[in-house]
Structure 1
Amino acid sequence: MVNLNLFKRVNLLVYVLCGLLTASHVQGALWTINYPRPIDDSDARAQYPIALLKLALDKTGVNYELRPSDRILLTGKAMRQLRENREVNVVWSMTDSQREKELTPIRIPIAKGLIGLRVFVINKNKRAKFDNVLSLNDMRKLTPIQGEEWPDTKILQANGFNVFTVPEFREAYDLIGQGKGDIFPRSVIEVNAELEAEGPGSNLYLEPSMALYYPTAMYYFVSLNNKTLANLIETGLQRAIDDGSFDELFNSTYAPILTSLNMEERTVFSLENPLLPVETPLSNPALWYKQNKEE
């Protein structure tokens, strides 16, 4: 007759040993982690996500190598490659319900929701047009330019905007420069670097008094079948939150930018986001930047 107690103890021992071996493998193996190569190596928009990813991985103690993809990958292409397990195994981007179905999100907003805080790039010759924008209804009369595949496009359309779409963001800058469309809403974490890249000789202008806000998050995404990497990144991010190093990196990166954009003095119009997944951790205030002035 089989001794059931002995059988259970043996099973427990095997389970523990397997867990230890798996943990040892994760810690000892070299993780080669490929992310989308930015437009150029000096692209300031990629510096914070890369730095935070390094911080998170360092917190886990794993042996890793972080490398850009061989070619430049804009967000739409990077997402497609990630779904197919080609070229990259981690991407950072704004979330929506569709992306969370097709990929595994690490639901810690890496920029504390600032991806949804938008200021307006306009044409210098249209500055007077904004003197009469006093409400959200007034703003809906303007034509924003956005990317074809961006979640922002659907958010703006759902809030009553007539959006003109382009294949990629540089075309939007070209059109604004030509006087087409009215506004190119850009996140506060993107706009300074982009305008600097456009150069001081352009006729682009940053509207100084208004902004839009919609609740959303920029996450790290991995493929659906890479749960181990998702767990590693999430564990590292949580440890960085717990010991304060996450906030330290966030504040050192974005506090000067928010000050330069005079965000405390801007009128911020809030929009609804029907694309926001229900799993978004809105109830945890530690994960979000608090904008004080909203309309």
Structure 2
Amino acid sequence: MIIFRGMLLLMLAMNFTCSAASWRINYPRPLSEDDRRNEYPLKLLALALDQTGVNYQLIASDRIMPQSKALKRLMDNREVNIVWSMTDEQREEMLLPVRIPIYKGLIGWRIFLIRKDMDSRFKYIQNLEHLLKLNPIQGSDWPDTKIMQANGFEVVTATEHGALFAMLSAAQGDFFPRSIVEIWDEFETNNPRNNIEIESRLGLRYPAAMYYFVNKKSVPLANLIKTGLEMAIKNGKFDELFLAVHQPYIDAADLKNRTFYQLQNSYLPIKTPLHRKELWFENKQPIVTTDTSAIEPQN
């Protein structure tokens, strides 16, 4: 409550009143017409801005840019002035995070895309050590890649998002971990040889947060977004939107019948608000576990 009131007072002191403020906010254009990953972050951003009463425009960048380029453009204060991305220490050093996890931590709940011919192999996995013998596929500049490498995985990487699905399909890796809020849409639109499926028994879980990031100098914009998000959290509209969009994905993941292996995330910045339980997804179903390396994830 103290933080929330402080943000409001700061906005008022800087003359960002509801009647006078007008904002033009440029975000990275989706990678393709089928890429739906921007939909929820844009809805949540609009909700936050609506809470504050400011006038605003959300405008896609003229050019398509992968996340690595978007983050570089944001750091240089060119073409875009907001990007949503998973956080790590390096990104928080380069950019200014709004430290409210927009996916409530679900970005760290990972289930697997696999080739259909690997289905029987995955049925025999009984512990994390078995899974470590297989090679996950990830983006070369993703924080997830460093997390998995630090936990003992030999990760196969590529720079282009679309290439990762082709690599899996061509047996250049064994499985492609995706968050339960991403995997369903990506499965529908990225199955080049129709030989990929969603594995039904297993998952990985590590603490992770996806934030809105702005340029280091864009403190007023960060304050505006944070204030709106805090207001939406307080009045319940944040959770209302989150569940409206993601409850079907959570249900489809069938959490109660999956074994999630817990990984450590040593790259999670110390300022991550893990103490604020209202910001994180709470799993209400018991997680099936088989040994001490598969433990119930904690927020």
Normalising by structure 1, we get a TM-score of: 0.90
Cross-structure match for 2:76: 84
Cross-structure match for 1:61: 53
Q: Work out the CA distance in 1 between the residues paired with 2:120 and 2:135.
A: 15
- TM-aligned CA distance change 1:206 to 1:86, over 3 Å: same
Is 1:187 aligned to 2:176, yes or no? no
Q: Work out the CA distance in 2 between the residues paired with 1:63 and 1:104.
A: 22
SS in structure 2 at match of 1:238 = helix
Matching residue within 19, 23, 44 for 1:52: 44
Is 1:276 aligned to 2:268, yes or no? yes
Is 1:261 aligned to 2:253, yes or no? yes
Q: Work out the CA distance in 1 between the residues paired with 2:55 and 2:116.
A: 50
Q: Work out the CA distance in 1 between the residues paired with 2:237 and 2:199.
A: 33
Is 1:285 aligned to 2:277, yes or no? yes
Q: CA deviation at 1:172?
A: 1.2
Cross-structure match for 1:157: 149
Matching residue within 92, 102, 110 for 1:118: 110
Matching residue within 148, 160, 172 for 2:164: 172
- Residues 3-29 of structure 1 deviation map (CA, whole Å, 9 limit, x = unaligned): xxxxxxxxxxxxxxxx86842567513
SS in structure 1 at match of 2:15 = helix
Pair member with larger Rg: 1
Q: CA deviation at 1:83?
A: 0.1
Query: 2:165–2:191: 8 Å Cα contact kept in structure 1?
Result: no
SS in structure 2 at match of 1:179 = coil
SS in structure 1 at match of 2:281 = coil
Q: CA deviation at 1:258?
A: 1.1
Q: Identity of aligned pairs, percent?
A: 48
Is 1:229 aligned to 2:215, yes or no? no
Q: Work out the CA distance in 2 between the residues paired with 1:20 and 1:205.
A: 52
Cross-structure match for 2:242: 250
Structure 2 regions of 5+ residues with no counterpart?
1-10, 295-299
4+ long deviations beyond 4 Å: 24-27
Is 1:102 aligned to 2:94, yes or no? yes
Q: Work out the CA distance in 2 between the residues paired with 1:176 and 1:23.
A: 52
For these two proteins, the number of residue pairs brought into alignment is 278
SS in structure 2 at match of 1:249 = helix
Q: Work out the CA distance in 2 between the residues paired with 1:116 and 1:104.
A: 21
Cross-structure match for 1:127: 119
Q: Which amino acid aligns with 1:123?
A: R
Q: Work out the CA distance in 1 between the residues paired with 2:34 and 2:15.
A: 36
Name the structure with the higher helix share.
1
- TM-aligned CA distance change 1:89 to 1:285, over 3 Å: same
- Bigger mean CA offset, 136-145 vs 200-209: 200-209
Q: Which amino acid aligns with 1:250?
A: F
Cross-structure match for 1:9: none
Q: CA deviation at 1:260?
A: 1.5
Q: Work out the CA distance in 2 between the residues paired with 1:168 and 1:179.
A: 17
Q: Work out the CA distance in 1 between the residues paired with 2:18 and 2:159.
A: 40
Structure 1 regions of 5+ residues with no counterpart?
1-18
- Residues 245-281 of structure 1 deviation map (CA, whole Å, 9 limit, x = unaligned): 0000000111111111212211111100010000001
Show the 5 A alignment for 1:9-24.
22-23=14-15
Cross-structure match for 1:197: 189
Query: 1:45–1:189: 8 Å Cα contact kept in structure 2?
Result: no
Matching residue within 67, 73, 76 for 1:75: 67
Q: Work out the CA distance in 2 between the residues paired with 1:20 and 1:259.
A: 42
Query: 1:176–1:182: 8 Å Cα contact kept in structure 2?
Result: yes
Matching residue within 211, 220, 229 for 2:203: 211
SS in structure 1 at match of 2:38 = helix
Q: Work out the CA distance in 2 between the residues paired with 1:243 and 1:41.
A: 34
SS in structure 2 at match of 1:28 = coil
SS in structure 2 at match of 1:138 = helix
Q: CA deviation at 1:168?
A: 1.8
Cross-structure match for 1:4: none
